[in-house]
Amino acid sequence: MCRLFGLHAGSQPVRATFWLLDAPDSLADQSRREPDGAGIGTFDGDGKAHVAKQPLAAWEDHAFAREARVLKSTTFLAHVRYASTGAHTMINTHPFEQDGRLFAHNGAFGDLERLDQRLAEFGVADLVYGQTDSERLFALITAESRRAGGDVGEGITQAISWIARELPVFSLNLILTTATDLWAVRFPNTHELHILERRPAGPGDAVPLDARSSRIRAHSKELAHSGHVLIATEPMDDNPAWRPLAGGALVHVGPDLGVTSSYPFAKAPAHPLTLSDLSPSAAASQKP
């Protein structure tokens, strides 16, 4: 299953070190499926998006994801891919960039030809360079955001609602970031997605950020003293304040780290998919 990680550090850029894969796998771990790609997105001081990503088709490619990567940004978006659709190539590797925003997705849905027709109707088919359902979902969000005058939350709501109503859906979990804002969706409740709001530390209580999952690690001394918000596929430390997002949640984290949650989607997709409905490769990509 793909791993998602989003970090909003507030209005001032901070340094953080990322590893997108663990150290070389032990013999005990080699029975696990190896990931198909990894990437991380940030924003520079001018708000311009930057993405470093690599398909992981060979052993030497894994060095890209295992090396420590020191980055500075207000928001960070990391993704480790287990492919459900599309070849193991750079253009199919997350995060994706459109209109200066970054996007990553964990899930699967079907009838991409119908979605391609929708994108063509909106005049945004040229936003899609690869074969993934994820990049197409992002293009629909971009189109709907443009139609809403740049309102990303409304764009997400309209795009997810249309897919949930019109297409067969297994999971649409996602994180979308700009230099100032972060949005996350858990829909429906197929895969988990968790949030942690870490408030500024008091005197003598400062602890550096050291968030670790089975695939992604983030470390930052600068975030020992300042508040930040994490969104992740799984809790990344033993902090009891981690909480799962409810199915159907749309979460927005603003520049001041204010977190708002809404539930604008139907309770379930009109055409739900199960693992048995997916192709063998897609089903394998969706298993925990």
Distance CA 114, CA 109 (A): 11
Give the mean model confidence (pLDDT) for residues 185-206: 89
Q: Which two tokens stand for residue 165?
A: 């109503």
Which DSSP state fits 263?
-
| DSSP three-state, residue 163 | helix
Three-state DSSP state, 120 = helix
**Closest C-alpha among 18, 39, 8, 2 to residue 231:** 8
pLDDT tens by residue, 67-83: 999 999 999 999 998 87
pLDDT interval class at 23 (50, 70, 90): very low
**Per-residue pLDDT tens over the stretch 148-173:** 999 999 999 999 999 999 999 999 99
Alpha carbons 120 and 126: distance in angstroms, whole number: 8
Domains of the chain from N-terminus onward: 3-113+165-286 (3.60.20.10)
d(CA 91, CA 39): 11
Going by C-alpha positions, the residue among 97, 137, 103, 101 that lies closest to residue 119 is 137
Higher pLDDT: 250 or 276? It is: 250
**Model confidence band, residue 33 (pLDDT cutoffs 50, 70, 90):** low
**27 in the Ramachandran plot: left (φ > 0), alpha (ψ -120 to 50) or beta?**
alpha
Q: Would you say residue 28 has pLDDT above 70?
A: no
